[in-house]
Structure 1
């Protein structure tokens, strides 16, 4: 149903080329820069028709204008952040449904990292694009929101089916995992996963996408039972030097 291609951009960002295999419709999520995304699409003979944005940070929107200018792609993103995204054309928010060809994605409001952050959930394809909210073994920093908001996001993500693939915006897994092990050293699944992550990174390989099932087993932020526990973990990660 969906063909999804990871495109490394900038220093540690990932943009995602997404194609509906039935219709051929293609879009990119969070293009931090244009060149690598346009090259990846051209190498596959794909034409980018849309740009979807999860939030306003420059490392997620920086390539949107150039991609629009090169392809005519329409730019869609959080209506709540319109004033910060000068290239935004179609604004969306909680409860909206957006289409990529024949595939429908639900828009989720997931504030905390930024005030208007959104995620895109393709329920039928069991794929969710979480931007800078949920990471492999981690979560986003609280720049414009609070712990209660991000804890709510984690609870919402944890309720998704285990097999849901999570496509996030950064390669942060190794540092996230080091913190996770420091606060949950007796978690055998976490220790085993961290060993696999270390092997992948030593070989120069990516560690995402992840799955909701893996995150429920190993991500301390997704496993936190209360806002207070989540808040302590987030403060600990912010100060972590490992």
Structure 2
């Protein structure tokens, strides 16, 4: 099934680039795909065939093909497609560049924004769900609760997939919540979780600033990363209960 090299054959064809450019794969000696083993830490690997077997993909990723190892292709739709060890997988026709393997004898099914995924571990982290769901800046991931209030999933949360039925995860606008922070040693309540440089300045020094006044700001114990640092004009930081801000007012001569 290998494509024979010839005058027009290139050394490596990147499957992901071909997909994003909306074109067929060029003839090549090797085809670059993205492979992860048990997580979403993808690394580039190459296979010598545009229609590799599942075991060839595993071998390229350094995983020994054996019983108890599952392999999935992540399609452009976000769906996980099972790839059998001796099943040819057409890289040209599926529009998939990412593959993930699990060493397990059980796969847990769930959906993320309607796309079916199969996860090889009982526990899935919020960080993985966010990577799969790709929510917008003002969105968060929720676990659907039929007949109840959908549960907000934070990136640091862990979710047990070994519940009755299939778990359904969706993205929706982030809820606004009131959070107590500390500004210049005084407690203040903000509508979180994101606050701006300008909001914090107003909490520290209410009113319109004079033209010759500048402000500088540091923070620590933030929810977002880095957890501490400096915040400048137009900056945004994600806070949690107890995040501390120090705002300095300087009058320029």
Instruction: Please give the TM-score of this superposition, normalised by the length of structure 1.
Output: 0.29
Greater per-residue helix proportion: 1
Q: Which of the two has higher C-alpha Rg?
A: 2
Greater per-residue strand proportion: 2
Q: Higher relative contact order by CA 8 Å / sep ≥ 6: 1 or 2? A: 1
